Chains A and B, each alone.
Chain A
Amino acid sequence: MANYGMALDYKNCINCKACEVACKEENGVQLGADKHRIWVGVKEIEGLWPNLSIASSTFEPSQCQQCENAPCQEVCPTQATHYTKDGVVMVDADKCILCSYCMEACPYDARYVKEDTMTVDKCTFCSDTRLLRGETTTACQATCPTKVRTFGDLDDPNSEISILLAHREHRTLKTHLGTKPKLFYLI
């Protein structure tokens, strides 16, 4: 029993997308640009050359927020989307009927259709691959050149992530929606 979350030192991110490829290889995520569990986003730069706003070009690595109050879980008619005992939001492909309601409900565009099973798929925090083998990092965390991510148990006060969150300011995405995301962006 754990309560997994992730802290992102997003200012480290150089938008190289190593995490995205590592995630695909580790988890067998289908190739194709719109088939991704995780991503790095950036706004279109503001300003006119050569007076460009560097601040407007901040890189934002992201993925499923593993919400504590997940809209996708709430709307699933068959409980295919569920919370694991470790607080990870997962899709049970056997139960998924592909009504796509969860894709409508997710405020983070974190879900996509996996085409070999024709069911909805999303980030699992590597629960069914790395964690299952006893590893303690996700593929995206492990491969990152600038070490953006720290994955761990939010309920364990001595875990690296708990310590990070205790000592550093952080924010979450679309907080106002009340989804209680478990991806924390360190400021």
Chain B
Amino acid sequence: MKVEISRRRFLQGSVALSIIGGTSIGATSLLSDENEHGEMRIMTRTTNTKAQKVPFLCGMCVNKCAGIARVEKGVVVKLDPNPYFPKSRNMLCPRGNAGIQTLYDPDRLKYPLVRVGNRGDGKYKRVSWDEAYDAILNGTDKFKGLLQILDEEKDNRSTIGYCNGEGLSKEGFEELMGLKIGTPNYVDEISICLETVLGGYSATIGAYGEADMSNADYVIIAGANRAEAIITPDTMDMFKRSKGRGLKTIVLDPRFTNTAAKADRWYAVNPGTDLAFVLALTYVVFDENLYDKEFAKKYLVGYEDYKNHVIKNGYTPQWAEKITNIPADEIYKTAREFMSSEHPIYYQGRRSVFAKNDFQLRRAQAIFQGLSGNLDKKGGIIYGKKLALPKEDVNSPMYAQAQDRFDKEGIAIFAGKTGSWIVFRNMVLEGKNPYPLRAMFMRKHNPMAGVPNTKKTEEFLKKMDLNVMIDILPSDTTMFCDVILPEASYLERTSPVASYGFLEPAIVQRKAAIKPMFESKTPEVIYKELAEKLTEPLWKNSLKYDEDVQDDTKGMKADELAKYYKENGFDLTEPWEKSVEELNKERVVKAFGEEAWNTLEEKGVYYPNMDKYHKQLNPNEYQYYPDDKKNYTTKGDKLKVVVNFKNLAKKGVDPMPTWHDEWAFKVPDGQFRLVTGRHAQFTQSGTTNNMALRDLIPTNYIWINKREAKKRGIEFGDMLEVKSSIGKIHIKAYPTEKIAPNMIFMLHGFGGSSKEMEMAYGKGGNDAAIIEDKIEPVYGAAVMHETNVEIRKV
């Protein structure tokens, strides 16, 4: 950004001396070091001085582990794990540890910015917060403001779209944009992430549940990479007992992952064919009567239909072998082992939707789990409990001019709240939206990297009259925005208190370790100030166009009108009358008392009887709840597994998991199937600029089978062009036997195009630029593994 201060001054201005640095000599080297490549390196070191220890919740990924920030002289010098939180069990992963590098990232957004050049050219002007809010409301000579847009659209609030990435302050943004300003057009990460997993499990066993990996003795992990895509507590619980130490582990993945390295057996399943594997397992179980008959009779609704269905369709292991690349014998063995285990789990798996049949795959998995009877009990998939926190309802106004959301094309079950990113974007691009979509309000979200087909996302953003971004880093998407509002990072803000459920429920609070740096503000303060700026002008716009409001307020005097405005929720500022800190205290005290609040403030975690239950077992491990107090069984007789879901048929969805031949894995000769995934040292595009993590993974590479690479004369580090039907990228080659000859793999999230993220810019390839924007038919979620590509050495 043109107004940026230099990197050295960034540090001098903001960070005190306890950040130590590298080779260069002189005063500034105490702070930083620019090496030969011009990259700056800063590192913290703890000392013996008195330090504050502030409990926080990690914000480096969506998992939210608890930690304690060590703050020396106003500088966060170390992030340690918090031993009180049962979910994260006294650990921080590499990303959690590297949070300091995100906090002190020299490329952070520091001031509100307003675009003065063209979209994408990076020309911005530093402005005050009020000027920024004013630009949102009234626009500038470069772009239209919200008021003009709403005026032109006659107060159709639905002309505004908004999106938000996962996080604790997401709800507030939804309140502001959806409930208060009044647009239904919301998209978020869910439709490019695990929508069908949640949907499939909820539809079948009533919830996603939690796998009790501490007590399970057999687990099938298919398409989930828990060693690299870390989820707490699953990751910790699984791998302490794998490798012949109590938890037999079967891993299915087209690629040999670090999870596969911890397995007893690894099956190189063809992408998108897991469903055939589960159906064949189910076939064996029905054919050999291995299932828990009593349990099935009691809880599995329509399992006999399913039995007939599976047997009749001949989903035998021999049939599945051809589809999945897993030998029939192995399928027999796995099915028998699974059902003869005491606590077997077919791991649900949290991940993006890979194939079009993912919803049915999840249904089949959940039913298979049900057939073992290992549900709602110790060592199985459990439902658990959650500690309730009171929440005040938002007084949401009714806007007569606002219209329904439109992104329903090609979707069987329309998930009203979050919609489908791909359908939403593509319909706007194709002009299929029934009314104009003219503005995007975005927060902590980078659809340029996250939503398949970057080119289309760029066009979509360029089509808007107004783009607003609230974020901490100048992401690819940020560079297409007109007004940029710098947010405080997770270590600089107290977030709304959160409740974590399941086996060992607790409430947790993220506290600000330091004050927001530069001119950044916490999200709730931004919502509040934005609401204050917008509320009056937008109300006047409603008065001008909204016939219901006009009818209601006809002939009202000023004070009556003011009362109407307040009572009917048109006052946008109402949810933020109290600060986050005040609200947190109020809610916790109300639910659990003053003592609980004190515990939460000090330790970051609270649950009833914590003082009695919480014990250190050894230098590494803690007891959070005694075994008899864990919520292993909570459903009891209310447990229900919907096997034959007849209502689905009405929407054109198979009522029972069924294989369709078009789902078979096919790659034309000379092409490769592109698969994507995660490494433990990297979240998504948001961590590409993190210097500590960049040491571990400087860029992404394309995995290509060694023999295939040799045939094509490709060696490690050679630059390849990877081309799909929608685009091409350049990326370096990594020949390895860990992938099939007709597949390639790349890590998601690299290949950033924003020049303002200096470490990330130009590093690796962006998978979203080549993944075709296909959706699965149930919710319209993006499918990530159905793109074939060609490669070429360049």
Binding site for B on A (CB under 8 A): 11-12, 14-18, 20-22, 24-33, 36, 42, 45, 47-50, 52, 54, 57-59, 115-116, 118, 129-130, 132-133, 136-137, 139, 141-147, 149-152, 160
Within 7-58 of B, Cβ neighbours of A (below 8 Å) are at 20-23, 29, 33, 35, 41-48
Q: Is the CB of B48 within 8 A of A14?
A: no
* Bound Cα distance A109, B618 (Å): 31
Q: A48-B707, A132-B48, A141-B619 are in contact. Are A14 and B235 (CB under 8 A)?
A: yes
- Mark B107-122 against chain A: 1 for CB-CB distance below 8 A, else 0: 0000000000000000
Q: Could you say which residues of chain B place their CB within 8 Å of the CB of A132?
A: 48
Q: Is the CB of B23 within 8 A of A32?
A: no
Q: Is the CB of A22 within 8 A of B97?
A: yes
| Interchain nearest-CB distance for B616 vs A (Å) | 11
Q: Is the CB of B692 within 8 A of A21?
A: yes
Can you list 13 A-B contacts (CB < 8 A)?
A11-B242, A15-B680, A18-B96, A21-B693, A25-B44, A25-B100, A26-B45, A32-B41, A48-B737, A145-B93, A145-B235, A145-B236, A160-B619
Q: Could you say which residues of chain B place their CB within 8 Å of the CB of A136?
A: 619
Within 198-250 of B, Cβ neighbours of A (below 8 Å) are at 227-228, 230, 232, 235-236, 239-240, 242-243, 245
Q: Is the CB of B619 within 8 A of A31?
A: no
Q: A31-B42, A31-B692, A54-B261 are in contact. List 12 more A-B contacts (CB 8 A).
A: A16-B681, A17-B681, A18-B680, A21-B94, A25-B78, A30-B41, A42-B261, A50-B740, A52-B256, A143-B80, A143-B91, A144-B91
Q: Is the CB of B738 within 8 A of A52?
A: yes
Of the residues B43, B228, B242, B705, contact of A31 by C-beta under 8 Å: B43
Q: Could you say which residues of chain B place their CB within 8 Å of the CB of A50?
A: 267-268, 325, 740
Q: Could you say which residues of chain B place their CB within 8 Å of the CB of A17?
A: 94, 680-681, 696
| Interchain nearest-CB distance for B697 vs A (Å) | 9
Q: Is the CB of B619 within 8 A of A20?
A: no
Q: Could you say which residues of chain B place their CB within 8 Å of the CB of A115?
A: 22-23, 33
Of the residues A28, A30, A57, A160, contact of B261 by C-beta under 8 Å: A57
Q: Could you say which residues of chain A place their CB within 8 Å of the CB of B705?
A: 49
Q: Could you say which residues of chain A place their CB within 8 Å of the CB of B45?
A: 25-28, 129
Q: Is the CB of B46 within 8 A of A130?
A: yes
Q: Could you say which residues of chain A place their CB within 8 Å of the CB of B738?
A: 45, 49, 52
Q: Is the CB of A12 within 8 A of B261?
A: no
* Bound Cα distance A139, B91 (Å): 11
Please provide the 8 A-B residue pairs with the shortest distance between their CB atoms, ordered closest to farther: A28-B45, A50-B268, A16-B680, A21-B97, A14-B227, A147-B620, A57-B261, A31-B41
* Bound Cα distance A48, B710 (Å): 14
Q: Is the CB of B691 within 8 A of A31?
A: yes
The chain A residue sitting closest to B233, CB to CB, is: A145
Q: Is the CB of B20 within 8 A of A116?
A: yes
Q: Is the CB of B20 within 8 A of A12?
A: no
Q: A21-B98, A27-B45, A48-B707 are in contact. Are A16 and B22 (CB under 8 A)?
A: no
Q: Could you say which residues of chain A place their CB within 8 Å of the CB of B79?
A: 25
Q: Could you say which residues of chain B place their CB within 8 Å of the CB of A130?
A: 46
Q: Could you say which residues of chain A place their CB within 8 Å of the CB of B29?
A: 116
Q: Could you say which residues of chain B place their CB within 8 Å of the CB of A139?
A: 78
| Interchain nearest-CB distance for B583 vs A (Å) | 32
Q: Could you say which residues of chain B place their CB within 8 Å of the CB of A25?
A: 43-45, 77-79, 97-98, 100, 692
* Bound Cα distance A152, B499 (Å): 36
| Interchain nearest-CB distance for B507 vs A (Å) | 22
The chain B residue sitting closest to A23, CB to CB, is: B97
* Bound Cα distance A136, B619 (Å): 8
- The reply on B262 being an interface residue by CB < 8 A is yes
* Bound Cα distance A52, B23 (Å): 44
* Bound Cα distance A150, B80 (Å): 17
- Mark B642-676 against chain A: 1 for CB-CB distance below 8 A, else 0: 00000000000000000000000000000000000
